Structure 1
Amino acid sequence: MSPFITGSTQAYLIPGDPVRNVRLPRMFNAAFARYGIDAVLVPVQVPVRDFAVFMKSAFLARNVRGMVIAPPHKPRVVDLLDGCGLFGRVAGSVNVVRRTEGDQLEGDLFDGEGLIGALDRCNVPFRGKRVLILGAGVSAAAIGVALAEGGTVNGAEHIAFFDTASGKAAGVAAKLDAFFDATVVAVDSNAPEGYDLVINATPLGLAEDDALPVDVARMAPHAALFDILLRNQPTPLVRAARARGLNAQAGFEMLVQQMPHYFRYFGHIDAADAMQADADFLRELIYPPAMQAEIATPLRYQSPSVA
C-alpha cells in the first residue's frame, strides 16, 4: 500500500456484518506495502438485506477491482456473478470476487486451498485418510470440496460430515459425493474413533465455556486435529488435544495459506509467488503472542507416532 491513497490507488473491499474482527485488511495492506502495490483493502459493514444492491453498485466505481467476502455474505454472492469457479459452485458460496478486463464479475472460494496448505505445512496427513468434519456450514463445505477434489490419491479417501442441525450434513455430503471419487457421507455422531483427522468447522470454542465439539480422549493416538477458528486460540479443543500429545493446529495457518491464492486471483502474481515462498510476516501479524513460537516451528506439536 502506498503511504498515500491517490486517484490511481486500486480499491478492494471486504464486506461483512460485523467487520470489527476481520484480520484480512491488516494482512492485505501489509502485503500491498511490502510488495509496492498501490492498493488498499477496506472493511465495509453491510447488512444482509442490503448486500446484493451494495455489491452491484460498488463495482460501478472503476477503481474497485475486487472484494474479499466476509461472513455472513459468502452464500449470497454466487447468484450475483457472471462466472464462478468449481469450488464456489459446488460449495454454493465464494469468498473472493474480481472484476475482469471485460467488466464481468467472477468469484471463487479459497477456504479449501487454505486448509490444504495449512495441513501440509503443519505435517497433518490427510491424503488417503479418513476425515471427520464437524459442522456442515459454508467453511465445512469448502473444506470437504478441497479434501475430495484430489481424489483418493491426492485427497482424503473417506470424508464424514457431522452437524447437529437435522439434514444439514446429509445435504452437503450428497452434493459432494455426486461430484468426486472420494466417499463422502453424513454421520449421526461426532464420535472420532476410526478417523485419522478431525476438523472443527463449528463455532464451538469461541467462548471458554463452550462444550468441546469432540471428545479428544476418544481420538486415536496417531490422529490429528485442526480447528479452523481464529478467535480464542488456542481454543480449549486445541489445548485438550495437545495435552494428549496429538498434532492439533489452530486456524491461523489456513488464513495465511489463502493469501497467495487471493493475490494471484487479483492479478498480483509476483506478490503471490513471494508470499508462497515466505509468509512469516503475515504470521507475525495474526498469531497471538502465546503462539508466536509456532511460526518458525510448525511441527512442534507433531504426534510422536506420525512419521
Structure 2
Amino acid sequence: MSVEGTETLYAEVIGDPIAQSKSPAIHGFWLEKLGLRAEYRACHVRAEELEEYFALRRKDPRWRGCNVTMPHKQAVLPLLDRIDPLAERIGAVNTVTRGEDGTLTGYNTDAAGFLEPLRPLLERTHLFRMARVLGTGGAARAIVAALAAQNVVIVLAGRDPGKARALLDELDPGGEHHVAPLAHFSEPTDFAFDDRAGCFDLIVNASPLGMAGQPPLAFDFSHAPPGSVVYDIVTHPLDTEFLQAARAAGFVTLDGLTMLIGQAAEAFGKFFGAEPPRADGDAELRRLLTA
C-alpha cells in the first residue's frame, strides 16, 4: 500500500481487485489536459488493510482523497469522520476526501454520475415518470435513491423480490414503488401500453449480468414502453447484448462509460478543486478508454 515519496498532490482509487479500474486513465487524462501538477493512482487495498490505509493517508497532506470501488463501498463507512447525507442515505461511499486537518469525508458520486446524461430529459415536465431497474446490488442502491429524488416511480426487479422490497422501503419509504422477479422480464408480454406522450420511461440494467464472465441479461423488449431510454451500467464489454438488442428494437441507449465518466467528474472537482475539461462531450476521453 505504500506510495513513493513525492511532493506532488495525488488522489487514487482503491479496491480489491483494482487492475481493471479505468479511473486512473480518466483522471490522468483530465489532469494532463488542465496541466495540473497532480497524480491519480490505483492502489490495491484488501479488506483487512482498509483501517491501516486510511490511518496512513489521513496523515499525508499530499493525499487529496480516493475513489472507492468494490468491495469496500460500505466497509469504509465506520472509518470516516463525516458522511455526506446522500451517501449516508444510500449506505455506500465511493469518494473520500481529506480536509486540511486530516478529517475524512465520504461522498457518493455514483448517483450524480448516473443522472448526468438523463438531466436534459428530467428537466422537462412529465405527466408520469417510471423506471424499470434490474438488479438489487450496491449499484442499484445509488440508482434507486437518485431516481426516487427525481419523482420517478420505480419497478425494482431482482432474483429475490423480498430483497427488492426491503431496498425500496429503506431508500424511499413513502414512495409508491413496485417489485418484480427478474425472470418476469425475460419472457414476452402482450401488455398494451397506454399513450406515453408526456411520459418518461427508463430501463436500467443495474446488475452485473451481461458483464464479461457473467451470464447475459435476459430481457424481452416487449416489456419496454414506447420511447423508453435504455441504460446499461456495465462497462466490460461496453456495447452489451442488452444495448444491442435495445437499439435493434428502436430505443435510445446509454452505456456504462456515461455513468463512469459522470461520477468521476464529480469526484475530480472534490479532489483537485477544478472542473474537468469536457467541452467535446467526452469524445476524446471515450476514444482513449475504448482503444
Mapped pair 1:231 → 2:236: yes
DSSP 3-state at the match of 1:234: coil
Given the superposition, is the C-alpha separation of residues 89 and 285 from structure 1 closer, same or farther in structure 2, using an over 3 Å criterion? same
Equivalent residue for 1:91?
90
Equivalent residue for 1:129?
129
> Displacement, 1:49?
2.5
Equivalent residue for 2:74?
75
**Number of matched pairs:** 275
Correspondence list, 1:254-265, <5 A: 254-265=259-270
Equivalent residue for 1:139?
139
- Which moved further from structure 2: 104-113 or 49-58? 49-58
- TM-score, with length taken from structure 1: 0.80
Identical counterparts, % of pairs: 26
CA contact (8 A) 1:225 1:238 kept: yes
> Displacement, 1:265?
1.7
The alignment yields a C-alpha RMSD, in angstroms, of 2.7
> 2: distance between equivalents of 1:122 and 1:77?
34
> Displacement, 1:95?
0.6
Relative contact order: is structure 1 or structure 2 higher (C-alpha 8 Å, sep ≥ 6)? 2
Mapped pair 1:170 → 2:165: yes
Q: Provide Cα deviations, 1:219-272, integer angstroms capped at 9, x if missing partner.
A: 223222100000012111111111111112211111122233112222523x34
Mapped pair 1:47 → 2:46: yes
- TM-score, with length taken from structure 2: 0.84
> Displacement, 1:129?
1.0
Given the superposition, is the C-alpha separation of residues 109 and 219 from structure 1 closer, same or farther in structure 2, using an over 3 Å criterion? same
CA contact (8 A) 1:88 1:108 kept: yes
Equivalent of 2:179 in 183, 186, 197: 186
Unaligned runs of 5+ in 2: 186-190, 194-199
> 1: distance between equivalents of 2:125 and 2:180?
19
CA contact (8 A) 2:59 2:102 kept: no
Q: Provide Cα deviations, 1:134-180, integer angstroms capped at 9, x if missing partner.
A: 11111111011111123x3xxx2x012222146321221011123xx
Given the superposition, is the C-alpha separation of residues 124 and 252 from structure 1 closer, same or farther in structure 2, using an over 3 Å criterion? farther
Correspondence list, 1:1-307, <5 A: 7-120=6-119, 128-150=128-150, 152=151, 156=152, 158-165=153-160, 167-178=162-173, 182-189=175-182, 191=184, 196-207=201-212, 210-269=215-274, 271-272=275-276, 274-275=277-278, 278-286=281-289, 288=290
> 1: distance between equivalents of 2:125 and 2:263?
18
